[in-house]
Amino acid sequence: MRLLPQARAYWKETAEPDLRQKFPRLFPRIAAGLVGNGSECFGYDDRYSQDHDWGIDFFLWVEEADRESIPELSRWKEALFVHSPPPVLRRPSPYGIPPEIMTVGDFYRSLIGCAGVPETIRQWRLAPEVYYAMATNGAVFWDGSGHFSAVRSGLQAYYPEDLRRKKIAARCMALAQTGQYNLSRTVDREDWVTVRIILAEFSREAMGLVYHLNRVYRPYYKWMWRGLTDLPILGMQCAALLRDLARTEGMDTDACRYRQEIINRLCRLLVLELRRQGLSAKQDWFLAEHGRAVQQTIWDRTLRRMPPQFE
């Protein structure tokens, strides 16, 4: 039972008519939706999600000029949930972030550190990628002024291309260092703790690169693999390989050889896609070569001068 469609239905059938009637002058400037933190905002909620911070709810976003209306709107929403409760009441926990009533600027500031679409590369780099994922997920049910959706659309357009390429270069360098170089050396040393660390780092970096190649923000680690399965470019292929990598047991010679084969297959897929997108023309299968090649295609001088392994 996915919550987002139910939240939209509750808004449309119950909340919107009541809000429109009681706040006729304010309503045309309000936005409403369910965006941000929580499995339901990504559409990944399932029966395991229902034990905490799960239930029908929605945000209201107002303009800065209407900030003083927030207390009154909060009282309206509280009364609505008492007198016309949604069929699935939210079960809060001490650690959750419930949908609130806030200004458009405050909402985006709470996630990415600025009230609108970042204007410079430096601003774009300030927020972790997972927060861009939370700022652009979910659904907007209503946006009278269009302000909230305009910021959302700007963020959904993804990173500036130079920054995307910088991140791709860094992912390539990390994949080469972990799966293509250090894994076999660490196996030879029989340093099994570090082998597990390398496998986890390689998996995370591989997923990150696939997200960049799709121009989609990588979500919170818990949903990173799940989101990978939805990506049209290499998503299912890489997800299947990473699942096999994670499920391979043991540290004997055959298991280690099989893991390396999976990693090599995955790296070849990534190299082919880098070439297909015109990001690298290198023929080498070692991803560090492609990372350096991608770095050289960046126009922004600050990003281009950084070591390719830095993002």
pLDDT at position 91 is: 79
> pTM for the whole thing?
0.96
pLDDT, average across residues 190-214:
98
Q: Which two tokens stand for residue 214?
A: 């799709």
pLDDT above 80: residue 94: no
Q: Is residue 83 exposed (0-12), middle (13-18) or buried (19+ Cβ within 10 Å)?
A: exposed
Q: At 1, is the pLDDT very low, low, confident or very high (cuts 50, 70, 90)?
A: low
Per cent of the chain over pLDDT 90 is 91
pLDDT, average across residues 87-102:
83
Query: Over the stretch 220-272, which tens digit does the pLDDT of each residue have?
Result: 999 999 999 999 999 999 999 999 999 999 999 999 999 999 999 999 999 99
pLDDT at position 93 is: 75
Nearest to 238 by CA among 260, 213, 270, 214: 270
Q: At 13, is the pLDDT very low, low, confident or very high (cuts 50, 70, 90)?
A: very high
| C-alpha span between 96 and 70 (Å, rounded) | 21
pLDDT at position 89 is: 84
Between strands 101-103 and 139-143, the pairing is unpaired
For 205, residues 6+ apart whose C-beta sits below 8 A from its C-beta are 171, 174, 175, 178
pLDDT at position 135 is: 98
Query: Over the stretch 101-138, which tens digit does the pLDDT of each residue have?
Result: 999 999 999 999 999 999 999 999 999 999 999 999 99
pLDDT at position 287 is: 98
pLDDT above 80: residue 92: no
DSSP per-residue letters across the chain: --HHHHHHHHIIIIIHHHHHHH-TTTGGG-EEEE-SSSHHHHT---GGGGGSSBSS--EEEE-GGGGGGHHHHHHHHHHHHHHS--SS--B--TT-----EEEHHHHHHHHHSSSSS--SHHHHHHS-HHHHHHHH-SEEEEESSSHHHHHHHHHHT-S-HHHHHHHHHHHHHHHIIIIIIIHHHHHHHT-HHHHHHHHHHHHHHHHHHHHHHHT-----HHHHHHHHTT-TTTHHHHHHHHHHHHH----SHHHHHHHHHHHHHHHHHHHHHHHHTTS-----S-HHHHHHHHHTT---HHHHHS-TT--
Query: Over the stretch 14-70, which tens digit does the pLDDT of each residue have?
Result: 999 999 999 999 999 999 999 999 899 999 988 888 877 788 999 999 999 999 999
Q: What is the mean pLDDT of the chain?
A: 96
pLDDT at position 289 is: 98
